[in-house]
């Protein structure tokens, strides 16, 4: 493997991840063959309208996600990003579209979960937040422990505004390197971060199993599984072998 990147402690790196980085942990992606959107329609389970029209169906979809959540663990791709953060500390930011919380469990600290997290559940009535492990998922719709209102996963649905967009704009404008991993580059606004960082002058690197939709904005592309590629790539970046 070859890469032009060598990291020093004052380089600013922004990483963007998507479902592909968690594939080797055993979580299905959305748009790959047999992905989640083959089985469910986005508009029926991942929009605010869906939740007001048919919360049972939305919860049917999310209960399957919660069943898996307790059984999955970070893979070598996640761990490689921890090594990178340990080296450059506050100059590292990890933006993730994933709601599985695996980056935090792996040990990354500076994480922006722009689509929220399945690990938090929020009451649509009184806005109290709970850890997913506190909630009884036995009924058709899990209910708030405080007020009895309907609960929903604290994730961003289509038609809702992702978190941290202001902060991200500032980060993209100052990044020296932008690394994008395991995302098809098809969901906005995240799909645009690559192009924006490149226009601001970052050197851009992609790691993905398939060619992403926004390939033209990558200075370097490493095709394959992130759990295999990232550990080697980041070793090279940190000067641990050539």
62 lines the binding site for ligand OAD (CB under 6 A) = no
The number of angstroms, rounded, from the C-alpha of 224 to the middle of its chain's C-alpha atoms is: 18
Quick one: 210 or 240, whose CB is closer to ligand OAD?
210
Q: Which of positions 173-212 make contact with ligand OAD (CB under 6 A)? A: 182-184, 186-187, 208-210, 212
Choose which of 29, 93, 108, 197 interacts with ligand OAD (CB under 6 A). 29
In the list Zn ion, ligand OAD, none, the entry touching 101 (Cβ below 5 to 8 angstroms by class) is none
Q: Which of positions 105-124 make contact with ligand OAD (CB under 6 A)? A: 115
d(CA 182, CA 178): 14
35 lines the binding site for ligand OAD (CB under 6 A) = yes
225 lines the binding site for ligand OAD (CB under 6 A) = yes
Q: Which two tokens stand for residue 41?
A: 């329609």
Q: Would you call 78 a catalytic residue per the annotation?
A: no
Instruction: Please check whether residue 65 is in contact with residue 57, taking contact to mean a CB–CB distance below 8 angstroms.
Output: no
- Of 147, 157, 132, which Cα lies nearest the Cα of 52? 157
Regarding beta strands 151-155 and 116-123, do their DSSP bridges make them parallel or antiparallel, or are they unpaired? antiparallel
CB of 145 to Zn ion, least distance (A): 8
Give me the sign of the Cα torsion angle 198, 200, 203, 208. negative
Q: Which of positions 77-136 make contact with Zn ion (CB under 5 A)? A: 123, 125-126
Query: Strand runs (DSSP E) across the chain, as ranges?
Result: 13-17, 92-96, 111-113, 116-123, 129-131, 151-155, 177-181, 203-208, 220-223
**Which residues are the active-site residues?**
115
Q: Report the interface residues with ligand OAD, using CB under 6 A.
A: 18-20, 23-24, 29-32, 35, 46, 97, 115, 156-158, 182-184, 186-187, 208-210, 212, 225-226
Q: Report the interface residues with Zn ion, using CB under 5 A.
A: 123, 125-126, 144, 146-147, 149
């Amino acid at each position: 493997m070859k890469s032009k990147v060598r990291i020093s402690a004052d380089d600013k790196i922004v990483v963007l991840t998507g479902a592909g980085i968690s594939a080797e942990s055993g979580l299905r992606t959305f748009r790959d063959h047999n992905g989640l959107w083959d089985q469910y329609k986005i508009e029926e389970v991942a929009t605010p309208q869906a939740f007001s029209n048919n919360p049972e169906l939305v919860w049917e979809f999310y209960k399957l996600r919660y069943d898996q959540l307790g059984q999955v663990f970070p893979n070598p791709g996640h761990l490689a990003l921890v090594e990178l953060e340990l080296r450059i500390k506050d100059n590292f930011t990890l933006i993730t579209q994933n709601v599985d919380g695996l980056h935090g469990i792996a040990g990354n600290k500076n994480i922006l979960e722009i689509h929220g997290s399945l690990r938090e559940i929020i009451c649509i009535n009184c806005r109290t937040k709970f850890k997913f492990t506190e909630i009884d998922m036995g009924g058709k719709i899990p209910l708030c422990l405080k007020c009895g209102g309907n609960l929903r996963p604290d994730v961003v649905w289509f038609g809702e505004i992702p978190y941290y967009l202001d902060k991200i704009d500032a980060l993209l404008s100052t990044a020296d390197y932008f690394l994008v991993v395991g995302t098809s580059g098809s969901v906005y606004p995240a799909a645009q971060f690559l192009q924006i960082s490149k226009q601001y002058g970052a050197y851009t690197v992609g790691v993905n199993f398939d060619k992403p939709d926004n390939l033209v904005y990558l200075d370097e592309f490493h095709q394959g599984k992130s759990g295999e590629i990232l550990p080697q790539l980041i070793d090279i970046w940190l000067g641990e072998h050539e």
